[in-house]
Structure 1
């Protein structure tokens, strides 16, 4: 993807919140001694900072090793530091809760990593004619899916692999704001503080990642399925094509993070899971925290041809998984959007503020579900066929929107499509960047916009969607 002038690709240091804070005059520290195979679990809100320093021994944070005597800071985080052989931690700052747990899922994660490495070795031995493991992680909300994806990505990177990570959960962003679906190949370990990292052309990044592919979904849950299945199909085609050109990533395979909504199912049928499995040719299906889901999927994918087998794996939900309130998730979304424009920690950014006429914007509003026929129905195709958007009955996807005060405090996704393209083309177009509407003057018919970099506002089609919600006061 070629960036438009004045825009960066999505994803500028999306991790913990970076709102200004008053530095404390003194920080009271305490030490915690962790025995082998235990982990320090903590929860810290967005208004406080927790610091962790490894004084001795070895420890890791979601698969990434902590450096000895380096200080790591966390805000708005629910996390865990694990040690295989024991360690001593220096803890500073206030937490909502913290404790040391003796029962952890890390042995299961290590065993899973070993099994996946065998599949990657097989791909290498085949001269890359076989693709590495194609993994989908499913489970209820707050069951630890994203944590597992981070651990698997970190372990694979430490083993010299370059796995591709695909985020199909619109509730939280990966290299892009919430409301988007994204994919990127990781060539280095996942950073402890920065999370998934930043888009490589947006500025210096502590995590080398290859160019991300981003699509704008714009709804909270995949079960609001008017555009989800077509975008999954589009991303699957793009990912498969990219892996054919990237030998190392093809050998490493990919891991897909999913929304808990798709694991609820209806009468034992999981349409979106089945669609993802079909489009991405998934061969490793990991279930977390649901015996019923594991049983249903095992029965669904049993008795397949060995050459097309799907291995269904069950992992227990970690005791460290906690429910995240809607208040917390809203604060997380707002912090990610803020960091898209202003950066995080030492990697601060200076977004550009500029004014444009109403006529400079080509805004399309996503039409939410109605009584019209769905764009895709599972009954339209048999279970073994791949979804073809051209075969689906058409319905209204977008309505052209005249700029008005309703745009204020909203994100606009700038697509690669032209405003004159068909609606399906706009839907399937990748995202070049996001702009924020800071102010609307209906009398003068002008808007004040915030963009990651200076430059002219592009004339491409821009999409306004109901998700994520408005972010008041982002531009001050």
Structure 2
């Protein structure tokens, strides 16, 4: 399976109008200068719909490992971040923020940089070993809102800066990495991350200033692996085969290693340590980094390091939680996912995109709803025995049988404003396992469902039709009602 998504073909005619890329202007105010001492950081939280800009006027600074260019203005909205400086700097700040201050407790940065140095040593050892050398495979675990994704992004940026091409695997379906929420994404980073947009936007969204990133995307349209842990583990097994295969095919990527980001829900020892064990086994993890949980560190250290022999022991390190790591409320996270969907179809302010309209009759669609524990008692779209049992059968079950993970549905207005994933598998004569394991070709937005004319109008990033493909609808991402007018 190639690490690819379809490119965007721009067309002159388009029935959808992109929402304005301009944000409401900030209150009239004069830009202010903030001077930061060595090993301090400027922490800020900006609400959605507000303008907030930062310019580096002297010294050096970085945002999660990515250096700020001097005298360039960076704009943020709906964002929480921390700009760190090792030797001190001056920033020009303009706009409204819900919170902004100079953070003094930054011991975590030294720890994170030391981890980067350790990974570089392991990569050098892999290069010295020749064709059989393998770089570090790192698993980052901990509760929500402790800085896991920031750590992964920093390690990736520092690695790219010194000429490495690490592969990042995001297993938190609530976060969209080069894809909307409801995705599990693997991407080999061959170019520097960007200050404003992080890993950037996928090639499905159009041209970018940086080299094209080609992610491998799988669908998990649920907020947690625990919605169906057996199906999640089976999907990981399948994904591990393709990720490992890509690493074997690219010597630089193989030596640069793998960094795996995980959802905070796996921090629960009662129900989810078996999923962590599965990840460690399937992706051949060689180093575990824990943040924000002393219990998790000790449990994993005892299970994977101290209790094993020297040849099988996996080092487990405990890192400091960044002082600026704050928990986001449900409303903020939902708005962030909606913003991610908008960017997928309409791009960024500096890279506007032109999505395409497709009107498709019901008879040409094969739409499947991904079922979870939360939908097992919901009778909408249920039929017969499919509503009786929601236990998944790992060996694959027909989507019309009891225990099926997917059920085929007739399009209805319940789909409106939702996203559906286009799977790289046929839409007919396909079983649960094939739908589950197939990579995602791209996403469609359901703009309108006409039950009288029996047609569905989709918003798509590509001008061409997707053919006979299975379309999967789940609980993530949530419907975005105001995407089109």
> Fold conserved (TM > 0.5)?
yes
User: Does residue 22 of structure 2 align to residue 28 of structure 1?
Assistant: no
- Match among 408, 413, 417 for residue 425 of structure 2: 417
Offset, 1:7: 8.6
Per the alignment, residue 93 of structure 1 pairs with 95
Could you tell me which of 237, 244, 268 is aligned with 1:240?
Answer: 244
Question: For residue 392 of structure 2, what is the aligned residue in structure 1?
Answer: 375
TM-score normalized by the length of structure 1: 0.91
Residues 5 and 456, structure 1, Cα contact 8 Å, conserved in 2: no
CA deviation digits over 1:346-388, x for unaligned, max 9? 1110101121111121101112235747437xxxxxxxxxxxx
Describe the shift of the 1:24–1:45 C-alpha distance in structure 2 as closer, same or farther (beyond 3 A): closer
What's 1:382 paired with? none
Aligned residues: 455
The correspondence for 2:49, drawn from 47, 53, 68, is 47
Is the CA contact (8 Å cut-off) linking 2:7 and 2:203 kept in structure 1? no
Q: Does 1:406 align with 2:414?
A: yes
Q: How does 1:61-210 map to 2 (within 5 A)?
A: 61-104=63-106, 105-200=108-203, 202-210=205-213
- Match for residue 343 of structure 2? 339
Corresponding residue number in structure 2 for 1:383: none
Partners of 2:21 and 2:349 within 8 A in 1? no
Partners of 2:190 and 2:20 lie apart in 1 by 26
C-alpha offsets along residues 263-306 of structure 1, whole Å, 9 cap, x if unaligned?
A: 12218x61111111111011110000000000110111123233
CA drift at 1:27: 4.6
SS at match of 1:403: coil
Q: Distance in 1 between matches of 2:51 and 2:22?
A: 11
Pick from 413, 426, 429: which aligns with 2:438?
Answer: 429
Which of residues 381, 403, 427 is equivalent to 1:395? Answer: 403
The change in CA–CA distance for 1:72 and 1:86 in structure 2 (over 3 A counts) is: same
1:463 and 2:472 correspond:
yes
Which structure 2 residue ranges, 5 or more long, are not aligned? 11-18, 377-387
Superimposed CA distance per residue, residues 168-226 of structure 1 (whole angstroms, 9 cap, x where no aligned partner): 00011101100110100001111001211122354222333542100010101111125
1:230 to 1:423, Cα distance in 2 relative to 1, 3 A: same
Residue 309 of structure 1: how far off its partner (Å): 2.5
Query: For residues 50 and 179 of structure 1, what CA distance do their matches in structure 2 show?
Result: 29
Counterpart check, 1:349 vs 2:358: no
For residues 88-138 of structure 1, give each alpha carbon's deviation from its aligned partner in whole angstroms, at most 9, with x where no partner exists. 111010100111111111101111111111110111001141210100100
**1:445 counterpart residue number:** 454
Native 8 Å contact 1:44 1:94 kept in 2: yes
Mapped partners of 2:262, 2:209: distance in 1: 25
| Match in the other structure for 1:365 | 369
Q: Does 1:300 align with 2:317?
A: no
Q: Secondary structure at the match of 2:48?
A: coil
Q: 1:318 aligns with which of 313, 319, 322?
A: 322
The whole-number CA distance in structure 2 between the counterparts of 1:337 and 1:18 is 15
Q: What is aligned with 1:223? A: 226
Task: Deviation per CA, 1:141-181: give whole Å up to 9, x if none.
Answer: 10110000000000100110000000000011101100110
Hey, what's the Cα distance between the residues in 1 that align with 2:180 and 2:105?
A: 34
Within 2, Cα distance between the matches of 1:352 and 1:359? 21
